[in-house]
Amino acid sequence: MTRLVVGFFLACALFWARRAEAATVAILRPASDAAAIDEALFRLQGELLAVGLAVALTERPPTGETATPETQAWLEQAASERHIDAFIDVVGVSAPEAVDVWIFEREQRRLKASRVTLDANTPDRAATLAIRTIEVLRSNFLVLDLAPRPAPAPVATTAPPAREAPPPAPRRSRFGLEAGATTLTSFDGVATAVLPVVRFGWSLDSWFALEATGAGFGTRPSVETAAGSVEVAQYFALFGASAAVPTGTIVEPLFALSIGALGTTLDGRALPPNVAHDVTQWTAVADGSAGVRLRPSEGFFLTLAAHVQLTQPYVAIHFVDTVVATTGRPNLLLTFTLGAWL
């Protein structure tokens, strides 16, 4: 009798210890960065965490394809070495179409594969895929620590289960605002000016955006000659496009091309008998830039970029009949801004 009691308590202890150990599910990082794919990942993570699973986001196999023997071997080795109980892969390019689930059977040291698919007219595809993926894990006894939850409706092939969907995943706004400063330097007689700069962006994709930039009300470098002096004020407005290179890290290379107008105001002071003039001239300008963008958080970013501006025609500063300085052929700018998605 004593042995039976001891055996009973040992079995209970082992059972509860197994329940307390959360299984680990690794989600393969998707090849697409579409907003609908990101929403499906967010829903999956929320559902997996809600049933007590440990969730990790991992890189895709080196081969890229998930149906090859090499990939299967890679997943089995990763599961064994990193103690992963299941892998999940969201299939789709612009929107989620299916989810592949691999359950690692440790006794046989092999993967058991399942696929969750959706009909083309399924509403709320992200929530439906997440719910059906949990059902696949439940059917394989992977979800061990289940809190009391409403019983899900039977999985149907044409309609999502009748249960309340999780709140929608947050999406990055299409509109961005940046503010900072730029230094504008001419290579022919006009010293460096510091200008405040403001930029508005409209994101068409995760890597491509249209931009409108304005700068002005900055410092006014002076050009000195024996006949007098002149203060030079410059300001510009640009419209163009930028492209960020996705790297999977917080640092992204950034390139941009813009066109617009450059205004130059000359405030002259002449020594007698010369006469000074105040002149304002607008010229067409083309701007090309390259730099880096840092994303320390989802909603904020820092941008550092070098620009080259060419104007047509360029601005020439005359004293009497002599050209003493020019600007715009070319100008070099260094810009630093802090931005946010609104």
Instruction: List the CATH number of the domain containing 273.
Output: 2.40.160.20
| Same domain, yes or no: 324 and 181 | yes
| Same domain, yes or no: 48 and 119 | yes
The parent domain of residue 44 ranges over 18-139
| Same domain, yes or no: 132 and 208 | no
DSSP line for 255-305: EEEEEEEEEEEEEEEE-TT----EEEEEEEEEEEEEEEEE-SSSSEEEEEE
Is 7 within the bounds of a domain?
Answer: no
Q: Among the three residues 139, 164, 199, which one is the final residue of a domain in this structure?
A: 139
| Same domain, yes or no: 181 and 120 | no
Is 93 within the bounds of a domain?
Answer: yes
| Same domain, yes or no: 44 and 128 | yes
| Same domain, yes or no: 185 and 57 | no
| Same domain, yes or no: 186 and 124 | no
| Same domain, yes or no: 91 and 197 | no
Q: Among the three residues 139, 167, 195, which one is the final residue of a domain in this structure?
A: 139
| Same domain, yes or no: 227 and 284 | yes
| Same domain, yes or no: 105 and 233 | no
pTM over 0.75: no
Domain count of the fold of the chain? 2
Is 149 within the bounds of a domain?
Answer: no
Per-residue pLDDT 10s for the chain (342 aa) are: 445 444 444 444 444 344 445 678 888 888 777 888 888 888 888 888 887 788 888 888 877 666 677 877 888 888 888 888 888 888 888 878 888 888 887 667 777 888 888 776 777 878 888 888 888 888 776 544 444 444 555 545 455 555 555 555 444 568 899 999 999 998 888 999 999 999 999 988 778 999 999 999 999 999 888 878 899 999 999 999 999 998 878 899 999 999 999 999 988 888 877 777 788 999 999 999 999 999 888 788 999 999 999 999 988 888 777 888 899 889 999 999 999 988
| Same domain, yes or no: 189 and 95 | no
| Same domain, yes or no: 234 and 327 | yes
